[in-house]
Amino acid sequence: MVRFVIAAILALGLSACQADDPPEMALSTQNAGDTRVAKNLFGAMPVASRQPPQSFGGYARGCQAGAAQLAETGPTWQAMRLSRNRNWAQPETVEFIQDLSRFAATQPGWSGLYVGDISQPRGGPMLTGHASHQTGLDADIWMLPPQRLNLSVQEREEISSISMRRNAGAFTNDSWTPQHAAIVRAAASDPRVARIFIFPGAKVAMCNSATGDRSWLNKVRPWWGHHYHFHVRLNCPEGAAGCTDQPPPPSGDGCAEAQGWVDRILNPPPPDPNAPPPTPRAELTMANLPGQCLGVLNAD
């Protein structure tokens, strides 16, 4: 397991899902005064805690107990970048990924899914990359259609996904296919899913091509990056009292909002000379996390 710890410290933040994940409301905590940097502690944990499965806190300020590990290779999926040790999640997330991968395998040109980052063994803030993915309920699905599912460990470190965007994300490029749209639609139609984050041009493309029931489009939200993968966020599992859901998306299909993103990409507003400089994101300490996370960290 030492290789996982070392690799996690050295890993590059190659995912497009960086610290621009959507913010959420701050949570009260029982760890007042604990100023230890949380990512250093959670990033060093090689295995899940021996506790009942449970998400604590919110997607960008939480942790997970009793995580399940997505198998490195399955009949319709492969977990990528194994050196990061981020193929851990709540059991509901693992089951969702397996279900979606079986659907993807029915699509022409797809043998299943390449699965990117999910969560660390005990969730929590990551050493590199994401601000979210902390509660075992977020997962990145690569846009690259798998041609084979027998990649070696080394190949999974070296292969990269492919970008779907054109004009800085205002439009899809020639790599975007109806199969991509079908897989996103299947994910968004799943009642376990709360949101899907994808670049604005893809949302608009799906708005323009969708027929019949359009209710699933409500869950597909435009967000920066997310053109090498799309990000699936699950609802808190039923009965998970310590888990905090994100507020639901606004009503409607969200297509006008996505078009607004595209319009601003194509015709960006002039910079505001009076705008204050952005405030750097502060490192989360244990005091910023729900009190249960200390127990998750200290479990055997």
So what's the pLDDT on residue 161? 98
Cα torsion 160, 94, 203, 59: sign: negative
φ/ψ (deg, to 5) at 153 = -60, -45
So what's the pLDDT on residue 300? 79
User: pLDDT by residue (tens digit) across 71-95?
Assistant: 999 999 999 999 999 999 999 999 9
User: pLDDT by residue (tens digit) across 233-246?
Assistant: 999 999 888 999 99
Range 2-12+27-269+282-298 has CATH code 2.20.25.90: no
So what's the pLDDT on residue 280? 86
What residue segments make up the domains of the chain, in order of their start?
Answer: 2-12+27-269+282-298
So what's the pLDDT on residue 208? 97
pLDDT tens-place values along the chain, 300 residues long = 434 433 433 333 333 444 344 444 444 446 778 999 999 999 999 999 999 999 999 999 999 999 999 999 999 999 999 999 999 999 999 999 999 999 999 999 999 999 999 999 999 999 998 899 999 999 999 999 999 999 999 999 999 999 999 999 999 999 999 999 999 999 999 999 999 999 999 999 999 999 999 999 999 999 999 999 999 999 999 988 899 999 999 999 999 999 999 999 999 999 888 889 988 888 999 999 999 999 999 997
So what's the pLDDT on residue 281? 84
Write a three-state SS string for the chain: CHHHHHHHHHCCCCCCCCCCCCCCCCCCCCCCCCCCEHHHHHCCCCCCCCCCCEEEEECCEEEEECCEECCCEECCEEECCHHHCCEEECHHHHHHHHHHHHHHCCCCCCCCEEECCCECCCCCCCCCCCCCCCCCCEEEEECCCCCCCCCCHHHHHHCCCCCCEEHHHCEECCCCCHHHHHHHHHHHCCCCEEEEEECHHHHHHHHHHCCCCCHHHHHEEECCCCCCEEEEEECCCCCCCCECCCCCCCCCCCHHHHHHHHHHHHCCCCCCCCCCCCCCCCCCEHHHCCCHHHHHHHCC
What is the Cα–Cα distance from 189 to 153, expressed in whole angstroms? 32
Question: What's the CA dihedral at 42, 46, 47, 50 to 10 degrees?
Answer: -60
What pTM was computed for the model? Answer: 0.89
Token pair for residue 288?
Answer: 């910023």
What is the Cα–Cα distance from 158 to 140, expressed in whole angstroms? 17
The closest alpha carbon to 67, from 292, 232, 298, 296, belongs to 296
Report CA Rg, the chain. 19
